Amino acid sequence: MRIVADENIPYVADAFGPLGVVKTMAGRKMTREALAEADVLLVRSITPVNEALLAGTPVRFVGTATIGFDHVDTAYLERQGIAFATASGSNANSVAEYITAALLVLAERSEVRLEGKTLGVVGYGNVGTKVVRYGSGVLGMRVLINDPPLQRAGVPVEFVGLEQVLAESDAVTFHVPLTKEGPDRTHRLIDGAQLAKMKPGAILLNSARGLVVVGADLQAALAAGRVGAAVLDVWENEPGIDAALLERVAIGTPHIAGYSFDGKVAGTQMLFDAVCRQFKISDKFVNWTTLVAPAEDREIPFTASGDDQKDLRNLLRRIYDIEADDARLRRLAEMPAGQQGAYFDKLRKEYPVRREAWNYGVKVAGDAASLEGKLESLRFHVQ
């Protein structure tokens, strides 16, 4: 079997090597010529997979190591009889931890208590369900959920309309796929008109797709003070993002919310399993996950202060410093325009290892009964 894979898929050569010949390359440099002998194509979100890339190639299977797949022309794959798989849910916890960290940072900066505030969650899929769980069970926020397709499907959750989410939420976070047409279109879902409906001073967080929010409209709303703050992990026109918008947001990161090491490894495993199913290969002969190193400093001693919000902020900072990601991206604004896109991609390619909370044990000293419950909800191992 001949496999072409994005070089940023972790352990891809180790996992797929026993199945055949693996060629890795940069996702933005994949061409039809590179696939001239490929049976399997494995990508991340930056490679458009369509007829222009695949026509005339022997590719029989395409897998994306991501939750979203708007970069893949699935209709074309179906017409050509090319099998397709995603890594749905692989990085959901990574994104949920990112959103939790972002809310705690902004609360610390503004000296605001999150408990009792309202969090609007637009999109209740793999990511949204975890964001709801952490928002309510960890941060103590009231949560409003909007997801029209799931509401129509009769999912037993109390859903509300988007206008209610915007009007009542102190923070609104988006976890929707990018859909460009139909009744559930999310392309440019949030424009100037919708931003004007937000509760004054509210926070907007987007870690879904850049095209869900109209950047120019958000920039204007931030400049006018209609939106209190924004956290953007995804941007229009990546990697050539709007440096002026970056300067306006409270936290900006280079499309890495789902980039925990654990999430990426889970994505590799999902694609490996899918390839084995598709080609009827036994996966018993290889256990590449034994190569995955444990997290460093797995045991964290911590003395509770009695302020759960402060303690959660400090503990999450120990395993993931979102402000460091923000600081690295802000250097982009100082660069010539012609270098900014390459720098954005470099930040993603060379992203430091980030491990999720379940890798760590926390030995808590002091009176911390309520804190311990919140840490367990985040999947820390409390000792």
For the whole model, what pTM was predicted? Answer: 0.92
**Residue 297 banded pLDDT, cuts 50, 70, 90:** confident
Same domain, 180 and 207: yes
Which position among 71, 209, 248, 348 bears the catalytic label?
209
Same domain, 198 and 54: no
pLDDT of amino acid 48:
96
pLDDT of amino acid 68:
84
Pairing of strands 61-64, 83-86: parallel
Same domain, 189 and 81: no
Tell me, rounded to whole angstroms, the distance of Cα 279 from its chain centroid.
Answer: 30
pLDDT of amino acid 242:
97
Tell whether 319 is covered by a domain.
Answer: no
Q: At which of 291, 314, 349 does a domain end? A: 291
Helix (H, G, I), strand (E, B) or coil at 111: coil
Tell whether 359 is covered by a domain.
Answer: no
Query: Is 209 assigned a catalytic role?
Result: yes
Same domain, 143 and 248: yes
Domain hosting 212: range is 92-252
* Mean pLDDT for the stretch of residues 236-257: 97
Same domain, 32 and 50: yes
Q: What is the pLDDT of residues 322-359, one digit of tens each?
A: 999 999 999 999 999 999 999 999 999 999 999 999 99
Same domain, 82 and 96: no
Same domain, 200 and 240: yes
Which position among 255, 348, 354, 355 bears the catalytic label?
255
* Mean pLDDT for the stretch of residues 214-220: 98
Query: Is 328 assigned a catalytic role?
Result: no
Same domain, 97 and 235: yes
Same domain, 120 and 217: yes
Which position among 238, 328, 355, 356 bears the catalytic label?
238
pLDDT of amino acid 57:
98
User: What count of Cα atoms within 13 Å lies in the side-chain half-sphere of residue 246?
Assistant: 28
Identify the residue whose tokens are 């999150």: 114
- Output the domain CATH number for residue 207: 3.40.50.720
Q: At which of 204, 230, 252 does a domain end? A: 252
Query: Is 187 assigned a catalytic role?
Result: no
Same domain, 66 and 184: no
Q: What is the mean pLDDT of the chain?
A: 95
- Give ∠ CA 291-130-207 in degrees, rounded to 5: 85
Tell whether 275 is covered by a domain.
Answer: yes
* Mean pLDDT for the stretch of residues 20-35: 95
Same domain, 35 and 70: yes
DSSP string, 270-326: HHHHHHHHHTT---TT--GGGGPPPPSS-EEEEE--S-HHHHHHHHHHHH--HHHHH
CA distance 134 to 365: 23
Same domain, 163 and 222: yes
Tell whether 236 is covered by a domain.
Answer: yes
Tell me, rounded to whole angstroms, the distance of Cα 19 from its chain centroid.
Answer: 29
Number of compact structural domains in the chain: 2
pLDDT surpassing 60 at residue 285: no
